[in-house]
Amino acid sequence: MSRTLNPVDQAVISQSLLSAAREMGIALYRSAYSSVVRDGKDASTGILDPQGNAVAQSDELIPILVGSLSITFRACAARFPVERLKEGDFYICNHPYHGAHHLQDILIFVPIFYEGRIVGFSAAVAHHLDIGGGAPGINAASTDFYQEGLVIPPSRYNLDEDWNNDGPLRHFIGANIRVPEQTLGDIDSQFAACAVGAARVREMCAKYSAETVGAAMEEMISYVERRVRAAIAAMPDGIYVGEDAVDDDGRSDTPLPIRVTVTVRGDSMVVDFAGTCPQVPTQMNAPYASTVSATLACIKAALTGEDVPFNEGASRAVTIEVPRGSLLNPNPPAPVRSRMEASYRAYDAVLKALGQAMPDRAVACGYDTTTGFCLTHLKDGRYRVFIELRDGGYGASAQGDGSDAVAGPLSNCTNTPVEQIDADFDFFRIEHYALRPGSGGKGRFRGGLGSSRAYRITEDGVRLAIYADRFRFPAGGLKGGGAGATGYCAVHRDGAVIEVRSKDDVPLRKGDLIVHASGGGGGHGDPAARDPAAIGADREQGYVAG
């Protein structure tokens, strides 16, 4: 560190930085225009040091998004050096082969100036309803990432010159998307969030000095690295292997296997995804940044507690190797829109490997699936786009049952309230929303339940686009526990039931009823050892089928 801090100042500044990142998140989703950000909270925020190392990130929002902030920042800074930035400048990028995830996730970095020099960066990323491309919301037919939307390479612009007052960048993006008022409004909310973060950091600099705040940032990163290394050192040295698979690529029935080898030596860990299947021609590939984020999120969750923030320090203790040309690190221009399914299977494979090293802390896999459920409608020249990210059941552990119908561990998204959907959209309505009895895997501790939701289409010309997983391969149990239920989706039309694949694009008719059900988590332990009181409670709550 550049100077020695007393423990009180370090604690106060550290918590202030974390608080600022959380406040940024609140500002982002409360000022957002789209339901996916405003209600689903599919966004994240953070504060970086002057070199672009992640220091503090909002722990209420999306782990998969914040885990790669530094990767995207470095791509921007390599093209437009930090020392050339001036007041009002910002970096922006959504390029999946330059640190971003998929084109719908736009990342913005705003330099924080104090007394004429940069003391850090505030960052905000949000998932946008539509970013152009070959189809509204989700282009299930894409064969390269250019067809998935407007590509924003690592770039530098100025807020007053290029964005405000319908500046050229704002005008350009708005001309290339189907729902400009929502997408541009959500980008505005990202700038608002970054302004909050910048204000809080400047306040800290005024109170403690920029040098002290910088030293506190450096120590926060070092603290996380020490804690993660200590947790790794407590594990038995060895080589641990985990495997899982994505159901298919959306075109064939061939599973997409993911394999990881975790090597623990002293206080360091190497995570190697050699043996993972090659990239595919559909949107199921996960870019490198997503794989890194998923891996670090799993290691952070399994090895440390809530008192350890998620920042650059976690990555310094872990080496992640991902073969080029694989499902988890494809070569451009492979499409990556639905990268979350492969990212989740990477998470689950690492979770299984860590469970071998720490059997007392092993957790069964959950449904661990992002369901991108998209309904779109074009009427009178205006597109309406609804995207919802569905829930699923968590896996059980040796300490208790899995949680019911919640977002997966890489997501944290909330469900969109039915009342809000009714207020925003008139071309469909929700007719049913409930837990799925019996969908959690049986065990001494049961897996969490999935849920079902039904959508009645009220206009002709509506399209359903969906990407999901675990329609074929359920979340497995541990220590004798049973597997959770698989998910499914179907269209009920004129007495017939039309199966919808986990990756599909379906034209709909007025009167159709779409039923989507998410799966449950795996159980833990022998079902015969389940506490009779817990069995009774499950029956009383209606959690048991039959």
Does residue 333 have a cis peptide bond before it, meaning omega lies within 30 degrees of 0?
Answer: yes
Determine which of 120-134, 313-327, 405-419, 460-474 has the lowest per-residue pLDDT on average. 405-419
Cβ-based neighbour number of residue 382 at 10 Å: 9
Please check the confidence at residue 3 and state whether its pLDDT lies above 80.
no
User: Does 26 fall in a domain?
Assistant: yes
333 part of a folded domain: no
Q: Say whether pLDDT at 2 is over 60.
A: no
pLDDT computed for residue 1 by the predictor:
40
Distance CA 154, CA 229 (A): 32
Residue 309 counted as domain residue: no
Nearest to residue 518, comparing CAs of 412, 404, 431? 404
Q: What is the pLDDT of residue 61?
A: 67
Give the strand pairing for 428-435 and 496-500.
unpaired
- Residue 427's nearest CA partner among 498, 467, 374, 391 is 374
Does the residue 283 lie in any domain?
A: no
The answer to whether residue 255 is domain-embedded is no
For residues 282 and 144, give the distance between their C-alpha atoms in angstroms, rounded to a whole number.
8
pLDDT in tens, 256-310: 999 999 999 999 999 999 999 999 999 999 999 999 999 999 999 999 988 899 8
Instruction: Give the pLDDT of residue 5.
Output: 85
SS3 270: strand
**Residue 20, CA distances (Å) to 15, 26, 66, 246 in order:** 8, 10, 15, 37
CA gap 202, 208 in Å, rounded: 10
Element (H, E) at 535: helix 532-541
Picking from 226, 254, 288, the residue at the C-terminal end of a domain is 226
Domain final residue pick, 226, 255, 272: 226
Per-residue pLDDT of 351-394, as tens digits, reads: 999 999 999 899 999 999 999 999 999 999 999 999 999 999 99
Q: Out of 178, 201, 226, pick the residue that ends a domain.
A: 226
- As a whole number, mean pLDDT of residues 88-106 equals 97
Nearest to 295 by CA among 346, 259, 255, 221: 346
> What is the domain count for the chain?
2
CA 475 to chain centre: 19
* Residue percentage of the chain with pLDDT more than 90: 94
User: Residue 186: which domain range?
Assistant: 7-226
- Contact (Cβ atoms closer than 8 angstroms) between residue 283 and residue 233: no
Residue 215 covered by a domain: yes
Residues 6+ apart with CB under 8 A from 456: 428, 429, 430, 431, 511, 512, 513
Strand boundaries in 396-493, DSSP class E: 428-435, 451-457, 463-467, 488-493
Q: Is residue 146 part of a domain?
A: yes
Res. 218: pLDDT tops 50? yes
Task: Give a yes or no: residue 155 inside a domain.
Answer: yes
